[in-house]
Each structure stands twice: as C-alpha cells, then as structure tokens.
Structure 1
C-alpha cells in the first residue's frame, strides 16, 4: 500500500471503538477557558475546524480536575456538571465527520506557575532546578487523604466527560505533571504506600484508572499519555515505563500515547539533540515503542518528530505503533490529515523555534506558547500564522495570559 493508504486505514480499539484513520491530534495547551474555568465557543470553533481537517482522533489540551490547581490561566476545569451543556457543544463540534474527540484530564502538581494557585502540591517537596525555581514554587507534600481526594476528582471528571458525549478520556501521565511526578523517583521520594519502590510509585496512576473505570464502565475508552523516560538524572526510566505500560494494560487501558521529557528536560519539543538514526526515522520515541511492543500488545501512539507521510506509514507498517500522533503541525495546518491521506505533503514543516535569547529558548514553554497562539487564532475563527515572529506570538500570549491571570486572582480575592 502507499503511505496515504496506510494512514487512511481504520483502527479498532480493544473495547470496539473504531477510529476512521491512523492519525491522532495529540494534546496541546489551548488556554481557551474562561476565568471561571468553563469552556467557551472558541473551543467549539477550534475543534470543529480540526475535525473538518480529516483527523481520526483528537485529544484536547489538558483539562484540570481542580479549580485550585491550574497549570496555566485559561485552563478548562471539570469538577462536576456545572458546564455540562457547554461541554456537550464542544463534544458535538469536535466529532463532526466521524472524528472522535477525547478529553485529556490532568492535575499539574508542582508544575504550576508561581502565584497562579493559592498553593502548589506534589508527591514530595522537591524544588525545580535553580533557573526555573523563579517561575515554579517549591511544592508542599501531599497528605494521604489529599491523594485519595485527587483520585476521586479524576474519576468525577471522567464521568462528566462521558455524560457530555465525548468519545473517551486520556490521563495525562507525561511531561512532568502530577501523575508523572508520582511515577518519578526524583519527584516522588515518599516513604508510604504511594512512594519508594516502582510498584508503589505507580500505585497512584493505577488507582486513577480504576476509579475512572468504576465511573464510566467497561466500554468507554480510557487512554494515557506516558513518558518513555523523563530524561532527568534519577528520573523515570525506560525500564520502569515499560513495566508501567504492562501494569496499565493488565488494568484495561485502551490506548497508550508515548512521549517523553518534562519542563526541565523538554525532549518532546525536539530541541534536544537526537541520534542520526532517530532523525532519519523521524519519530523521537520510535525505538522505545519497539521495546514496548515487544513487551505488550496494547495499542500504541507515538507523538513527536514525524515530518512526512512516508515516515508515519513506515512506523505503522513496522508494527511498532498503531497510530501516529501529530501536534504542532496540526496547529499551523489543521487540514494536514486530509492532505497526507490525499498524497499531499505538509506545506509548513515544523522546525524548533528560537527567539535568539538563550534564557528564553532553553525553557520548554516557548513552544507551548507559540502553538497555543496558533490554536487561539483558530478559536477566534481566524487562520493560523505559521510564519509569525516567535517573539510577537510570545508577547501576544503573555499579554493575554497575564490579563487572564489577573482576572483569575480577582475572582479568588
């Protein structure tokens, strides 16, 4: 088959859900919620446009489970059924043309900007490295009863997502957020049942999955985004990641999306130097996916680094992955899936961004902000601007986020 034909094939998840093709829009930060944490019409416009572009499965940017634990201004928050009708409109808009839309559910843990929340919590009170400590406060260690409460919040959010009509949920277990922090021996230095050995450190994510499943039943898809590794000294390793995937598969996870890195080691942005062999195969985490595939047969997605239909199709044909994740390329070219399945290459190949200011360039959130700017334009009904100056996009988002942050603080005063 041609690459276009391979990408156009449908795929069946273990619970019977059919995805119409092999392309997944991976989660990206949109920051398009209201100051109260509600979704608004911008998310409907954005995901309606992405669905119209031919994607098989879209995964939303991180939706938080606690209004007191935001990752950034503009996060949507699901704590109950307050916004059920708005969520239903979002689900309908994002599932046009038989596209599926899943909600990524998250808690930031320590990875929340200083001053955004009343306090910052994490498995252990481990600070960020010195150059980032200016932006992220040292967290307070969670108490056992608080951990149980957070698990229940994940479950409640999943129940509401299902009731609103979305196609599934994804647990954010990557990129240094709370689930990832529990898995990491660097961030989780507890000595109770939630920390210590690797089986104890993955007890949290397994408890989240179990609680969610009890709320949504056996047929509603639950996936996870998981680091192949943290790429930090003393962090979550590839060996532990494979063991975690095996445990999740046994517990009934439907789909595992493989990524890697944290704000302190932003491998997922493509700025870290990779081997020539990895560059040739395009995907950053494909070698790890091959190791995972040898250990378990749960459906796998790899996101990060894909540039061509040939590279994507080759990864699928090899058997290492079942689906291919696209993120930044969708933010600047929302109709890219239809183009790839029609044999048309990307018009705007993705390259690492740079402002020329080293202190800014080495921070992981530069890429997040630039592509959130593009998503925001689509939320306003405008076209993306792939050639926009990075500094101009950064300034625009900083102004918007700063104003949203100020409004948020006033609401809480």
Structure 2
C-alpha cells in the first residue's frame, strides 16, 4: 500500500511527501518583490510539513500583470529576494517551485492602460477583455521571457518551475480552438495550437538544463462548448511527456464553483466530491509515466489515500484548506486525520490579501 508520506521524485527534485501546496495568489506585494509578510507565509507552510510548495504565479514581463499583488520574475532584481524565500523553505526540508504565467485577457486589471496579448481577436468569456492578436515577433518575445524567467528561478534557488498553461491564460488560449483562430503555424490543428507551449518549454529547457524540474499546469477541459476538450488535453499530456516535461498538474477553470458542480459531467467525466478533477487525472495518469498531480476539492485524508491507492495519481495539491490550516499536513502526519476545516466559502480573496476569514489574522 502506498503512503501519502512517501517521498517522490520529479526529475532531480525529491519531495518528502505527496502533498503539494497549489499555486495561490496571495495579493500581498505591491511591487512584485518579496516582503516580510510573504516570507512569513511561506515559512509557515514549510513548517507545516508540506512536501512541495508551488508559489503564486509570477509575471514574466514587466508590462503584463494580470492581477494586483503578483510576484515578478521579469528581471534579475528579483533574484536576491527569492534566494531568501528559498532558504527559508529549504530549512524545513520542503521543496519550492516558482509558477510562471502570462495571464493575457483573463484579467480586468488595468485594462486600457497596457497592451494585452492574445492568440486571436477573441475576448475572454468571463472577463470580456479583448487582447491584441500576437505577431510572430511578439510570440518569440514571450517565449524568451518564459525562458529567462526560468533562468532567474534556477539562480534564485527554486527547486523547479511550473508553466501555467491552464485557466484561459495565454497558453491555454493558444491550445483552445475557441480562442485560437489563427491561420498560421500556431493555429488550426492541435499540433499547431501546441506549438507555442512546446516552444516555451524547449527554450526553458535550453536555459536550465536537462536535470532541472519543469512542471506544467493544464486545464482538464475548457468546460464549455467549442473549447479545448479532454481528449485533446490527453494528447497534449502525451506530447509534453515525450519531449521531456517532468510532471503535469491537471486543474479546471471553475474558480470557486467546484462545490456547485459536483456530479456534473464534462466530456463524459464527472466533477468529484473529493478531488474535483481526479477522474480526468486518473485517465491521464494511466497514459503517461511522469507524475500526475490532481488539484481541487481535497477534503479528507482517507479519500486522498484511497485515490492514491486506486489510481496512478502521484501527488495531491491543496490551496484554500492551507489558508485555514497552514499546518494541515503536519496534523495529518501526527495522526489527527479529521477533515479539513476549510468550508470552501471562497471568501478568502480580499483586496488586502488572500486569507481565511474564519480565523484570526
């Protein structure tokens, strides 16, 4: 029987257990740089025995910030602050991976004050934000920005990087036939729609080397008619494994709506009460050999352990419950297996930072 407290290897990185703190937008830095409040949050998570911490996403170019309070990784001035962050996390034998993103039109922040890139002239469904269809030179610019962000992450001491290719951010939009209407080599067939993601990965790999972990976050399906389907996501996962990606995190694009959609089917697979997207992850984990991470809706130790032992899913990512209980994994490890205290009210997204309103700040 496999244990949730087994160590697990992702390329050269070894996580001491199978629990992941999924990338969480803290909204606690006005400049994009580390500060004492953020350092304290991450140190507390590491003390809480989480094996792998994924940071909130960092913007890769200065002019593109999808939300207020995001990390930055767009120039070398960020490296010193991140060194301190990584040192604090490593002190407790946790691993930390920097998530990087270009948000694109999945934003209402400072719209009209900046150019926002998109694959095609299609507004994002939720925000209505219109982007500029990218030229090939602009595509190269963003590909290079991801690569240089990975270089800075490695120099900072992060144990790896994660490419955010989910949640209708720019990479996801290139993958999606709804958003990508291009007629050049970046549009049309799935192979063409994957080209942007593949170029990003390959440039990153050139910069960081073959032994440095590069993870990828993908949307299981776009969850709407005409969008990316799960069958296409499965093909993307196989291709990315083939070219060298080290782990895949399968998510959704529901943003707090998971509880209301439990039991509903999308592309013939249901949203689950425990592990919303675990049915999708189960399928992919049978088709590829690299670690598959499921995220969303983890509520009990017993159900998570059951998922581990009745699928090929290797790791389990948690976000909101760790806002309520940063020491949740330590509690479970010490034998207190009660369910998470988080009630999934989604009231943790606040203008002055993301925090659980059920506990004292």
Contact 1:260 1:268 in 2 (8 A): no
Which consecutive residues of structure 1, in runs of 5 or more, have no partner in the other structure? 355-365, 375-383, 394-413
1:252 CA displacement: 0.8
Contact 1:255 1:301 in 2 (8 A): yes
Q: How many residues align?
A: 356
**Residues 34 and 110 of structure 1, relative CA distance in 2, 3 Å threshold:** same
**Equivalent residue, structure 2, for 1:339:** 331
Q: Going by fraction, where is helix more abundant, 1 or 2?
A: 1
**Equivalent residue, structure 2, for 1:274:** 262
Q: Going by fraction, where is strand more abundant, 1 or 2?
A: 2
SS at match of 1:226: strand
**Equivalent residue, structure 2, for 1:235:** 227
SS at match of 2:154: helix
**Residues 385 and 274 of structure 1, relative CA distance in 2, 3 Å threshold:** closer
Higher mean displacement: 148-157 or 113-122: 113-122
Distance in 1 between the 2:127 and 2:228 partners? 20
Q: What do the CA deviations read for 1:150-204 (whole angstroms, capped 9, x no partner)?
A: 0000000000000011111000011111111111111111111111111111111
Contact 2:27 2:68 in 1 (8 A): yes
**Equivalent residue, structure 2, for 1:146:** 138
1:269 CA displacement: 4.3
1:127 to 123, 126, 147: 123
Contact 1:34 1:40 in 2 (8 A): no
TM-score, length-scaled by structure 2: 0.92
Distance in 1 between the 2:272 and 2:70 partners? 36
Residues 1:16 and 2:8 are matched in the alignment? no
Distance in 1 between the 2:53 and 2:175 partners? 26
Distance in 2 between the 1:29 and 1:299 partners? 24
1:369 CA displacement: 4.1
Distance in 2 between the 1:206 and 1:195 partners? 13
Contact 1:21 1:55 in 2 (8 A): yes
Contact 1:286 1:320 in 2 (8 A): no
SS at match of 1:305: coil
Q: What do the CA deviations read for 1:225-267 (whole angstroms, capped 9, x no partner)?
A: 1111010111111001000000110111111111012xxxx26
* RMSD, aligned CA: 2.3
Distance in 2 between the 1:90 and 1:269 partners? 32
Residues 1:259 and 2:231 are matched in the alignment? no
What are the residue-to-residue correspondences of 1:3-402 with 2, within 5 Å? 6-13=3-10, 15-35=11-31, 37-116=32-111, 117-129=113-125, 132-133=127-128, 137-261=129-253, 266=254, 269-275=257-263, 282-346=274-338, 348-353=340-345, 368-369=349-350, 372-374=353-355, 384-386=356-358
Q: What do the CA deviations read for 1:66-95 (whole angstroms, capped 9, x no partner)?
A: 111101111121122112211111111222
1:351 CA displacement: 3.1
1:268 CA displacement: 6.1
Contact 2:247 2:292 in 1 (8 A): yes
1:111 CA displacement: 1.3
Which has the bigger relative contact order, CA under 8 A and spacing at least 6?
A: 1
TM-score, length-scaled by structure 1: 0.81
Contact 1:70 1:108 in 2 (8 A): yes
1:370 CA displacement: 8.6
Distance in 2 between the 1:219 and 1:157 partners? 17
1:38 CA displacement: 2.1
Which consecutive residues of structure 2, in runs of 5 or more, have no partner in the other structure? none
Contact 1:268 1:304 in 2 (8 A): no
